[in-house]
Amino acid sequence: MSTVDWDEVKRLAADFQKAQLSSTLQKLSERNCVEIVTKLIESKLLDVIFTNDGKEYITPQHLGKEIKDELYIHGGRINMVDLSQILNVNLSQVSKIASDLEKHNKGLKIILGQLIDKTYTNKIAEEINDKLMQHGFINVSELTIHYDLPADFLQSTIERELGKSICGKQDPQDSRVFYTESFIARNKAKIRGALSAITKPTPLLAILGQCSVSERIFFCDLQEMKQIPGVVAGKQGTNSLYIPSIYSKSQNEWVDNFYKQNGYLANVKYVLCKCNFSEYDALTRLGISDPANFIRRHFPNENIAFLHSVAVGTSIRDQIDSNIEEAIITGSFIDISPLLPSVFSDKDMEMLLKIAEKKINNNTHVFAKTIVISDAFLQSLNKSFEAIAEAKAKEAVASGQWFQTIAENRIKSKSADLIFENKANKKEDRRKKAITSKIGGGTQGRETKTKSTKKKYLQGKNRDGESDDENTKVLSTKIELKLISLEDIKTEIAKDDNLSVIDDLVDELALYLEQKINNYAISIAKQLAQNNKTTNLSEVEERLNVLVTNIKIFDKGIKHIDKTDQPALTKYLLKSLVTDFVNELFKLAAQQNMLQFPENITTETRQKMLLDLPEDVKEPLTNIHKSIAGNSIDDFLNFVDAAMASCCLVLKKYDKKKERPFILGHKEALLEELNTTQDPALALHLITSILFTAATQNVIHMSGRHVSTVLSFLQTQLQLSTMEILSKYHDMVLKSLTSSDEETKLDIQKELQTGLEEIKNIANNYKQHLKSDKAQENKYT
């Protein structure tokens, strides 16, 4: 056992020795290795490249080989960044090696950080060729996007391969585009077809859109193709127009024909509406932007006038000229619009007329743009209005409106004129109505009217001499009274059928005439007014003086009568003559102070007028107004002077010398009236008056009611027989008036008729019937 053990120990010892003697494994630690390699690299004994993680070394030769392998695996194209990641080598090392490789290997290229070899370019060329065949054309810029390669590279590649692996043609204008021959041929055919088919000017853009041919090819082909039937007008580009020669030919023909036929050329869109074919449009389509120039060129020998929208030849102008001349000669007017084709716009006609006016001397007027009116016609028209103007002017003056408006004008500002005019017109109308309705009316109205007509007549005569100078503008512009309204003129003009047919002419003419006629009317009115004022005043003064004298004389007559009867007579006198006088005076005052007054003046109206009168006039007039209501003529006479003075009138002194002739005249008048009358009552009245005058050498103003009073007064003066006859007759008259029985009335009437001659004789021989003239005379004078 132990020997075995010892053997075993010996064996182990031997093993131990063996183990100790066996060669030691020569192992370098990593640390050492790194150090050694660094040392080697430093000493340039070793040329290796570290991997990215620094754990491996690689020789440049091997890297080159690996790069090539990778390139092959990736189909001939690989990104350097990818390469560096795949090989786990720094990018800079990879690119360095790659550039080395590029230098030594002609098939290799570095493009945009990508390694590309020959096989890849060949592949691309084939692909491009396929694509070209498929689409007919190819654009380098599209390819750059597709392959993500620079255009220059692709360009050069394609150019190199053109004719080899790429069957196509390079666009001569844009080297970046390539076509196949068939594609070009196809497009050419398309374009030729489109261009031949077009018959009217078409924008190239539209053609391109229709054919779906690219712009570039189109223009390229357009230059090559000589046989296209037309021209391209305008700037090069899609905006230009293609004008087929067939179209321009027909255009020219149309222009020629149209001009020959019509003598004018409408060169504006106007025609487009009318003829569905616009000259202007056509010209622009032909590439001539200036139609006027085109026409000039087209008709170099014609004398063409260019208007706003049309060009006109001589024939039409001659026609117009001759028409105008005719109108001038005949003194009428002419509307040229129906003479011209409908395409002529108003503006054209206006221009045409201007041209015509230059030729024909300036004695025409153009209205409503197209109507030529000769001076002569205007004159005649003017004349026809003069009469109306005169009438209106007279009316205005007579109605007092004239004064009123003048006065108001002074007060009112200019701005209010318009309103004023309207008002004035209205008033005028009203007044006109009033006057016409009153013709032959009440005594007072008639009196004033006859007077005014008389005056107008006189003034009308005056005016005849002045009527020639129409143009004298007498009025200042400030006064804008329109005596004749525009409407009046219009209606008057419209009466002429020839004029009223044409639109606007009436209005324009009316406007044109309005000012003239109004000026004329106003000047007349002014003259009238001036004449009126002076004559008026003196006449009124005269009349009033006569009235006052009459009143005085009549008053005297009243005083002969018994005291008891006097008041009644006085009252009558006051009511009749004195009231007349006062009314007259008030009218005058109203006129002078520019007041309105009604035709019939009553006590109430007088009172109203008094309120409106100025203070200085008001007082004396108030006094005189009150005196009418009183009982005494003397009171009235006291106030007359002041009242008249307030109206700028002078009361003439009472002239006794005039008294006698007046009384005689009055008596004569009474006798005359008596002889003509057949009315018993009136006859009795007159006889009574005559007898009173004869008895007292005074006149009496009385009404029929006072006859009996006066007769009883005359009783003492007359012979008994006469008195009896008269009183009997008086009773009969009373009976005839009061009796209700028709029969007795007729009887009495008969008796009165028979007695009429008798009492008339009494009046005619009044002296015989007086008791003792002298005694009476002495007594009463």
Partner 1 sequence: MVDESTKKTLSNIPLLQTKAGPRDKELWVQRLKEEYQALIKYVKNNKESDNDWFRLESNKEGTKWFGKCWYIHNFLKYEFDIEFDIPVTYPITAPEIALPELDGKTAKMYRGGKICLTDHFKPLWARNVPKFGIAHAMALGLGPWLAVEIPDLIEKGAVFHKDKIDEYKS
Nearer to partner 1, 20 or 413 (CB): 20
Residue range at the interface with partner 1 (CB under 8 A); choices 12-20, 113-121, 184-192, 739-747: 12-20
Q: CA-to-CA distance for 120 and 107, rounded, in angstroms? A: 10
Backbone angles phi, psi at 333, to 5 degrees: -130, 165
Q: CA-to-CA distance for 219 and 171, rounded, in angstroms? A: 12
Nearer to partner 1, 17 or 467 (CB): 17
Please tell me whether residue 36 binds partner 1 under the rule CB under 8 A: no
Q: In DSSP terms, which residues pair with 770 in a beta bridge?
A: 718
Please tell me whether residue 22 binds partner 1 under the rule CB under 8 A: yes
Nearer to partner 1, 8 or 503 (CB): 8
Please tell me whether residue 8 binds partner 1 under the rule CB under 8 A: yes
Looking up tokens 């087209």 gives 298
Please tell me whether residue 30 binds partner 1 under the rule CB under 8 A: no
Nearer to partner 1, 22 or 477 (CB): 22
Nearer to partner 1, 24 or 676 (CB): 24
Residue range at the interface with partner 1 (CB under 8 A); choices 2-10, 206-214, 416-424, 676-684: 2-10
Q: CA-to-CA distance for 273 and 207, rounded, in angstroms? A: 25
In whole angstroms, the minimum distance from the beta carbon of 7 to partner 1 comes to: 10
Nearer to partner 1, 32 or 632 (CB): 32
Nearer to partner 1, 27 or 226 (CB): 27
Please say whether the beta carbons of 367 and 327 come within 8 A. Answer: no
Nearer to partner 1, 3 or 436 (CB): 3
Q: CA-to-CA distance for 267 and 296, rounded, in angstroms? A: 12
Please tell me whether residue 24 binds partner 1 under the rule CB under 8 A: yes
Please say whether the beta carbons of 687 and 727 come within 8 A. Answer: no
In whole angstroms, the minimum distance from the beta carbon of 87 to partner 1 comes to: 33
Residue range at the interface with partner 1 (CB under 8 A); choices 22-30, 179-187, 223-231, 443-451: 22-30
Please tell me whether residue 16 binds partner 1 under the rule CB under 8 A: yes
Determine the 3-state secondary structure of 49 from DSSP: strand
Could you please report the per-residue DSSP string of 158-225?
Answer: HHHHBTTTB--EE-SS-TTEEE-HHHHHHHHHHHHHHHHH--S-EEHHHHHHHHT--HHHHHHHHHH-
Please say whether the beta carbons of 547 and 584 come within 8 A. Answer: yes
Residue range at the interface with partner 1 (CB under 8 A); choices 14-22, 191-199, 211-219, 654-662: 14-22
Torsion of CA 307, 313, 315, 321, to 10 degrees: 30
In whole angstroms, the minimum distance from the beta carbon of 57 to partner 1 comes to: 22
Please say whether the beta carbons of 239 and 203 come within 8 A. Answer: yes
Nearer to partner 1, 26 or 738 (CB): 26
Please tell me whether residue 33 binds partner 1 under the rule CB under 8 A: no
Please say whether the beta carbons of 94 and 84 come within 8 A. Answer: yes
Q: CA-to-CA distance for 116 and 105, rounded, in angstroms? A: 11
Tokens of 690: 């005559």
DSSP 575: I
Nearer to partner 1, 29 or 303 (CB): 29
In whole angstroms, the minimum distance from the beta carbon of 75 to partner 1 comes to: 49
CB-side neighbour CA atoms (13 Å) of 93: 23
Residue range at the interface with partner 1 (CB under 8 A); choices 20-28, 185-193, 369-377, 713-721: 20-28
Please tell me whether residue 25 binds partner 1 under the rule CB under 8 A: yes
Closest CA to 381 of 467, 506, 472, 482: 506
Residue range at the interface with partner 1 (CB under 8 A); choices 16-24, 387-395, 425-433, 559-567: 16-24
Please tell me whether residue 6 binds partner 1 under the rule CB under 8 A: yes
Please tell me whether residue 9 binds partner 1 under the rule CB under 8 A: yes
Q: In DSSP terms, which residues pair with 111 in a beta bridge?
A: 114
Residue range at the interface with partner 1 (CB under 8 A); choices 8-16, 322-330, 427-435, 453-461: 8-16
Please say whether the beta carbons of 537 and 544 come within 8 A. Answer: no
Please tell me whether residue 19 binds partner 1 under the rule CB under 8 A: yes
Nearer to partner 1, 9 or 648 (CB): 9
Tokens of 255: 């222009």
Q: CA-to-CA distance for 181 and 524, rounded, in angstroms? A: 99
Please tell me whether residue 29 binds partner 1 under the rule CB under 8 A: yes
In whole angstroms, the minimum distance from the beta carbon of 40 to partner 1 comes to: 18
Instruction: Work out the angle at residue 143's Cα, subtended by the Cα atoms of residues 138 and 146, and round it to the nearest 5 degrees.
Output: 135
Pairing of strands 77-79, 114-116: antiparallel
In whole angstroms, the minimum distance from the beta carbon of 36 to partner 1 comes to: 13
Nearer to partner 1, 18 or 563 (CB): 18
Please say whether the beta carbons of 662 and 549 come within 8 A. Answer: yes
Please tell me whether residue 17 binds partner 1 under the rule CB under 8 A: yes
Please tell me whether residue 12 binds partner 1 under the rule CB under 8 A: yes
Please tell me whether residue 26 binds partner 1 under the rule CB under 8 A: yes
Side chain identity, residue 172:
P
Nearer to partner 1, 14 or 73 (CB): 14
Please say whether the beta carbons of 130 and 136 come within 8 A. Answer: no
Please tell me whether residue 2 binds partner 1 under the rule CB under 8 A: yes
Q: CA-to-CA distance for 761 and 286, rounded, in angstroms? A: 117
Q: In DSSP terms, which residues pair with 243 in a beta bridge?
A: 231
Kindly provide the residue ranges of all beta strands, DSSP E only, lying in 660-730, ordered along the sequence.
Answer: none
Determine the 3-state secondary structure of 242 from DSSP: strand
Please tell me whether residue 31 binds partner 1 under the rule CB under 8 A: no
Q: Which residues contact 261 (CB under 8 A, 6 or more apart)?
A: none
In whole angstroms, the minimum distance from the beta carbon of 37 to partner 1 comes to: 18
Nearer to partner 1, 35 or 466 (CB): 35
Residue range at the interface with partner 1 (CB under 8 A); choices 6-14, 269-277, 457-465, 666-674: 6-14
Question: Residue numbers of the site for partner 1 (CB under 8 A)?
Answer: 1-2, 5-6, 8-9, 12-13, 15-17, 19-22, 24-27, 29
